[in-house]
Amino acid sequence: MGSALRSTNRSLEKKADLLDRVDYRLAETEADKEAIYRLRYRAYLQEGAIEPRGDRRLIDRFDDAPNSWTFGIYIDGLLASSLRICVASRDHPDTPAVDAFGDILRPMLAEGKTIVDPNRFVADPLRETRIPELPYVTLRLAFVACAYFNADIGTATVRREHQAFYRRVFMHVPLCPPRSYPTLTKPLGLMAVNFPEMREKVFQRYPFFRSSFFERRMLFERHGEPTQPLAPVMLPEFPFATVPADL
């Protein structure tokens, strides 16, 4: 038992230490955006999730949406991964997850819930194998966004074989079986977490997911166009608030 605990602590320390080498950079220049579009293409092609394309880049209509933030995650100054954060609300309901799973998510938006939809998570195929903590460091942005936007729900649109990771780390639960997803050849399932209900449990297990208000504002407040956090909405308990026993 003591050996397992020491191993867990060392793993958490490595993830936390990696944050000192990480730069979460909002893609605002054309050069940064182009690097991310090409990284997406390489990563999805490597997984067989897309067909080859002549332009060797992957971009869609959500990249320029007013409720989208695309980040490059740089480690030691080099682009290692990327994640796009989309925020769905009654006023801005259009995100990839809502587009693919509207039958489940649109009724929640109609009730006034705020949904943080992290998507287009990709990692450099060459660097990912050398940095096993990279998924944790990258997806930390999803919890940072949930805190900034006072999210009611955090979603994850993932392949079936990746669902165990999201259940274990972020306490997501599946809402429906995998289905076709725009631009990808492999089906994705919808998972979700009740962020207000579960965040402290996640933070207790992974304290490096915590963030300061300063960090949240620096990441999501657009230059010259301040973005105010959405007001929290008091709602009844969600049907997926309880974590399955196997977690």
Type and span of the H or E element at 230: none
% of the chain surpassing 90 pLDDT: 76
- Summarize pLDDT for 75-124 with one digit per residue, the tens: 999 999 999 999 999 999 999 999 999 999 999 999 999 999 999 999 99
Q: What is the CA radius of gyration of the chain?
A: 17
- Region 2-220: CATH code: 3.40.630.30
Beta-strand runs (E) in the chain: 22-26, 68-75, 78-88, 115-123, 153-158, 173-179, 188-194
- Summarize pLDDT for 128-174 with one digit per residue, the tens: 667 889 999 999 999 999 999 999 999 999 999 999 999 999 999 99
8 A C-beta contact, residue 77 and residue 23: yes
pTM of the model: 0.84
**pLDDT beyond 50 at 246:** no
Whole-number Cα distances in Å, 202 to 81, 121, 170, 206, 243: 22, 20, 6, 6, 11
| CA distance linking residue 168 with residue 148, whole number of Å | 23
**pLDDT beyond 60 at 177:** yes
